């Protein structure tokens, strides 16, 4: 192995949302920061938006599911039940996410007090509320303040996205049922902001070629690089190394262009490689930070069901941001329903082109080819709305990722195996959600309602749920968690984990806003305590 010692104050593994924010904060604080990313920069002109076969490309080379595309930057993930949304490049999965931007609720942080089937977080909503606000301003989040289902917040940096025809149709349905609804918050700028152009409502959003959506490549990384952070692309980290004193000494990584292997030493190591990549790296680093046996366990996706409804009026769902409304009507626990926890409605637009609609989406039935195709297309296109029920699944240590004993990636690092199955509480919630989706479709006066529970003939849940949470969870007890309230691993005092793997509970909404707020908070802790962290052999127990 060719040794090339490149000392730095902090080395960060992964350049997605958490890695980008950490690099920005730490570099602005005057620290010498190196971020290692196994993928490369994406040229916006290479995105599917600019290709004549863009609908097909979204299903193929730009598919957010790592197992449904062929990309040399990826590594194998053998999942028995679920899609695996991740993107290995600068900006991480924000390159293909939908930038739906709701916050967690106060009750999400104290499920241990509420019913005891999930742990309490060692922090509360009030601890991260200021960081939610600051992240929103960094990105230019759009929305409407005043939702009575949530704590009071500041006005959004940019005004709400246009209230679409889909939103008008669904709002009337919610009103008929007497259910809560609110215009969706979005990590999309509705007007020019911070040098980026406002959204032009061009269509369904899985990434954005204009940078109106807050891809961290365009919204955060320029600030980090301007502050002096270094970003090494095509750098696959093979392992984190630890010294005799129990501290992390740095990382060994491979330059995927030259083929050379390097060792970089650092005083603090930060990992932000998502809920699969982070436990994979720890397990591959001689079972690092795993005295609790919680690394890789308690995988949460969200318990997902969906419906496609067809309405008579044209809702033109192929235009505008992907989400029109959200509803927290059933977000809190009500044991009279037969389960604990709750769920959120994400009310989506419809598909943006003939090709995607004809191929089906999120489990909907594809359209026919041949004699009846044109009449079917005329009846469906612009008239279909997708509804998601997103539930708070209970953590289960048997839902987990682990290292494959034989399969490796192209650089010899073990591949990942993944198992996920909903528990009995989750299944009862799924059935309840399906009934409420039926109610909502009927209230919208839909002429066709297709319900999708993603359970096959054998009852196996094959979910397209995309969120990868809980596999290195945060807690107050080193025996049942991996990191403390500051994201510091209990076993290794200068090793921090900043991605969604630290979540103690999954909540009922998309996690990136919370990932980002937590990352900003943890990065400022590292910055403010760097001198102590660079030499300490003890983990903080500060309350």
Q: What secondary structure, in 3-state letters, does 392-436 show? A: CCCCCCCCEEEEEEEEECCCCCEEEEEECCCCHHHHHHHHHHHHH
Q: Residue holding tokens 């993930």?
A: 77
What pLDDT does 2 receive?
42
Q: What is the pLDDT along the chain (543 residues), one digit of tens a residue?
A: 444 445 899 999 999 999 999 999 999 999 999 999 999 999 888 887 777 777 777 778 888 888 888 788 898 899 988 888 899 999 999 998 889 999 999 999 999 999 999 999 999 999 999 999 999 999 999 999 999 999 999 999 999 999 989 999 999 999 999 999 999 999 999 999 999 999 998 876 777 888 899 999 999 999 999 999 999 999 999 999 999 999 999 999 999 999 999 999 999 999 999 999 999 999 999 999 999 999 999 999 999 999 989 999 988 877 778 888 999 999 999 999 999 999 999 998 766 555 555 555 555 667 778 888 888 878 878 888 989 999 999 999 999 999 999 999 988 999 999 999 999 999 999 999 999 999 999 999 999 999 999 888 888 888 887 799 999 999 999 999 999 999 999 999 999 999 999 999 999 999 999 999 999 999 999 999 999 999 888 887 654
Residues 6 or more apart whose CB falls under 8 angstroms from that of 517 comprise: 128, 131, 132, 134, 135
Write down the pLDDT at residue 360. 57
What is d(CA 166, CA 144) in angstroms, rounded to the nearest whole number? 17
Domain 1-45+59-99+102-140+214-301+397-420+469-543 has CATH 3.50.50.60: yes
What is the model's pLDDT at position 47?
A: 82
pLDDT at 287: 98
Report the pLDDT value the prediction gives residue 21, as an integer from 0 to 100: 98
Reduced to 3 states (helix: H, G, I; strand: E, B; else coil), residue 320 is coil
> Are the beta carbons of 76 and 65 closer than 8 angstroms?
no
392 within 8 A of 505, measured Cβ to Cβ: yes
Q: How far apart are CA 269 and CA 280, in angstroms?
A: 16
pLDDT at 204: 63
Question: Which CATH class name applies to 153-204+303-391+421-462?
Answer: alpha beta
Q: Do domains 1-45+59-99+102-140+214-301+397-420+469-543 and 153-204+303-391+421-462 have the same CATH topology?
A: no
pLDDT at 273: 97
Place of tokens 């009852």: 459
Kindly give the pairing relationship between strand 343-348 and strand 384-391.
Answer: antiparallel
Whether the CB-CB separation of 303 and 314 falls below 8 Å is answered with no
User: Which pLDDT belongs to residue 362?
Assistant: 57
pTM of full prediction above 0.85: yes
Q: Which two tokens stand for residue 62?
A: 């730009």
- What is the per-residue pLDDT for 352? 57
The helix (run of H) or strand (run of E) holding residue 240 is: strand 235-242
Domain map (residue ranges) of the chain: 1-45+59-99+102-140+214-301+397-420+469-543, 153-204+303-391+421-462
Contacts of 485 (CB under 8 A, 6+ apart): 122, 123, 474, 476, 542, 543
């Amino acid at each position: 192995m060719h040794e090339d010692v490149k000392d730095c104050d902090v080395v960060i593994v992964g350049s997605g949302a958490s890695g980008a924010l950490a690099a920005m904060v730490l570099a602005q604080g005057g620290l010498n920061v190196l971020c290692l990313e196994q993928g490369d920069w994406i040229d916006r002109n290479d995105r599917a938006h600019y290709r004549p076969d863009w609908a097909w490309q979204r299903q193929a080379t730009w598919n957010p599911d790592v197992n449904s595309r062929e990309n040399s930057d990826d590594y194998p993930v053998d999942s028995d039940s679920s899609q695996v949304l991740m993107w290995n490049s600068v900006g991480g999965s924000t390159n293909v996410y939908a930038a739906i931007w709701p916050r967690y609720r106060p009750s999400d942080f104290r499920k241990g007090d509420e019913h005891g089937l999930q742990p309490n977080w060692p922090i509360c909503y009030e601890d991260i509320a200021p960081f939610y606000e600051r992240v929103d301003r960094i990105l230019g989040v759009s929305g409407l303040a005043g939702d009575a289902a949530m704590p009071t917040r500041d006005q959004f940096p940019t005004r709400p996205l246009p209230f679409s025809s889909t939103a008008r149709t669904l709002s009337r349905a919610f009103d008929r049922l007497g259910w809560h609804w609110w215009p969706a918050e979005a990590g999309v700028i509705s007007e020019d902001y911070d040098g980026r152009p406002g959204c032009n409502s061009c269509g369904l959003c899985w990434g954005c070629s204009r940078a109106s959506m807050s891809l961290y490549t365009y919204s955060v990384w320029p600030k980090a690089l301007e502050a002096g952070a270094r970003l090494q692309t095509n750098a696959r980290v093979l392992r984190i190394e630890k010294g005799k004193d129990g501290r992390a000494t740095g990382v060994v990584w491979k330059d995927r262009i030259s083929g050379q292997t390097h060792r970089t030493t650092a005083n603090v190591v930060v990992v932000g490689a998502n809920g699969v990549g982070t436990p994979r790296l720890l397990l591959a680093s001689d079972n690092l930070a795993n005295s609790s046996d919680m690394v890789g366990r308690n995988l949460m996706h969200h318990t997902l069901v969906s419906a496609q409804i067809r309405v008579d009026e044209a809702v033109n769902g192929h235009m505008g941001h992907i989400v029109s409304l959200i509803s927290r009507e059933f977000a809190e626990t009500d044991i009279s329903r037969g389960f604990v926890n709750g769920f959120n409605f994400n009310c989506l637009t419809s598909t943006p082109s003939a090709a995607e609609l004809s191929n089906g989406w999120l489990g909907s039935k594809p359209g026919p080819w041949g004699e009846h195709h044109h009449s079917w297309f005329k009846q469906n296109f612009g008239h279909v709305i997708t509804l998601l029920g997103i539930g708070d699944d209970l953590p289960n240590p048997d839902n987990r990722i682990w290292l494959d004993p034989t399969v490796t990636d192209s650089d010899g690092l073990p591949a990942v195996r993944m198992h996920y199955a909903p528990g009995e509480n989750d299944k009862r919630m799924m059935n309840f959600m399906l009934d409420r989706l039926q109610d909502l479709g009927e209230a919208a006066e839909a002429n066709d309602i297709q319900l999708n529970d993603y359970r096959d003939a054998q009852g196996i849940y094959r979910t397209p749920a995309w969120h990868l949470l809980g596999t290195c969870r945060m807690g107050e007890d080193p025996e049942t968690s991996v990191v403390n309230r500051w994201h510091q691993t209990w076993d290794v005092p200068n090793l921090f984990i900043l991605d969604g793997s630290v979540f103690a509970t999954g909540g009922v909404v998309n996690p990136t806003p919370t990932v980002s707020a937590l990352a900003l908070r943890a990065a400022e802790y590292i910055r403010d305590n760097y001198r102590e962290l660079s030499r300490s052999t003890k983990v903080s127990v500060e309350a």
